[in-house]
Structure 1
Amino acid sequence: MFSDKKEKSMNEPTTGQNRINEGTKLKGDIQSQGFFRIDGTIEGNVNTPSKVVIGKSGFINGTLTCENADIEGRFEGELQVSGTLSLKETAHIEGQVVAGKLAVEPGATFNATCSMKGSTKKNLGANTNSTVEKDIKGQNHPFDRSQRIQSVKAESKTE
């Protein structure tokens, strides 16, 4: 009745740590409010508003949704990281990735489609008849390749 204890919201990350040790295999979905270290194998979905570390012997096949992730092991599936995704040199990623920030060490294998949070997708090559870039003075830009090609064609026709 007179307690000063505050109840924690179920949506806030906790300081509790969860560990799945090497040799452990889990099938199913995992939802937690705390930090995760995975050195075993998970087939299913992992969802936490905290950080996930996949150790060198760790493997996830499924969907991982978290705030930050450090990956040294293997991941196959859909990876959704709202903060920073760090891939160490021993990491092996395959699937689909959405991340706020991406850090990849040399040696990491990254075979995935990747999009950055907050980015807008641009359709490259959709407009093949683009206008020539102009500089501030309204002149053709000196590094515009299409202008150089046109001038070379014009010179070769006059010769």
Structure 2
Amino acid sequence: MAKSYEPETKLHNLIGSGTKIIGNIETTESIRIDGEIEGNIASKGKVVIGAKGKVKGEVNCLNSEIEGALEGKVMVKELLSLKATSKLVGDIETSKLTIEPGAVFTGKCQMGGSSGMVEPQANSAKK
């Protein structure tokens, strides 16, 4: 069986600072974002949003570490880590969550075990 909650040291994909992508990203590997993404990200590995990284869209992955800004829903199968410099505006679905002092989180959080990747659900939030 796969080992859970181990840090992944290899990041196979990198969106560098100064790069902006408009569109969805799907990968079977881990990815680090230091640039800007407007679109959804689906990864079977880890998604890292660096301190200068900005994502506007849904993130669906195995594990995630956020240092930068994310606006949208986050669905993480195992561990989501919000670092002190992170700013997340949106809802979270994850098995485990760590939030460092200084992190900003605005939204709803649902925690609990899941057998597979979390499937997107319709948003029924009131305005």
TM range (shorter): 0.7 to 0.9
The superposition leaves residues 108-135 of structure 1 with CA deviations (integer Å, 9 ceiling, x where unpaired) of 001111100349xxxxxxxxxxxxxxxx
Unaligned stretches of 5+ residues in structure 1: 1-14, 120-159
Q: Which has the higher contact order (CA 8 A, sep 6+)?
A: 2
d(CA) in 1 for partners of 2:84 and 2:103? 4
How many residue pairs match? The answer is 105
d(CA) in 2 for partners of 1:112 and 1:105? 16
Pick one of 57, 60, 63 that aligns with 1:65.
60
Aligned partner letter, 1:104: I
Scaled by the length of structure 1, the TM-score of the pair is 0.64
The superposition leaves residues 67-94 of structure 1 with CA deviations (integer Å, 9 ceiling, x where unpaired) of 0001000000110000100011000000
Root mean square deviation of aligned Cα: 1.4
Assess if the C-alpha contact under 8 Å between 2:11 and 2:29 holds in 1.
Answer: yes
Pick one of 106, 112, 115 that aligns with 2:107.
112
Assess if the C-alpha contact under 8 Å between 2:11 and 2:32 holds in 1.
Answer: no
Displacement after TM superposition at 1:16 (Å): 6.4
Report the counterpart of residue 45 of structure 1 in structure 2.
Answer: 40
Off by >4 Å, runs of 4+ in structure 1: none
Assess if the C-alpha contact under 8 Å between 2:85 and 2:103 holds in 1.
Answer: yes
Report the counterpart of residue 51 of structure 2 in structure 1.
Answer: 56
More helix by share: 1
Report the counterpart of residue 74 of structure 1 in structure 2.
Answer: 69
Unaligned stretches of 5+ residues in structure 2: 1-9, 115-127
d(CA) in 1 for partners of 2:59 and 2:112? 15
Assess if the C-alpha contact under 8 Å between 1:82 and 1:117 holds in 2.
Answer: no
The alignment status of 1:17 with 2:19, answered yes or no, reads no
Pick one of 96, 106, 110 that aligns with 1:101.
96
Larger Rg: 1
The percentage of aligned residue pairs carrying the same residue is 45
Aligned partner letter, 1:35: S
Report the counterpart of residue 6 of structure 1 in structure 2.
Answer: none
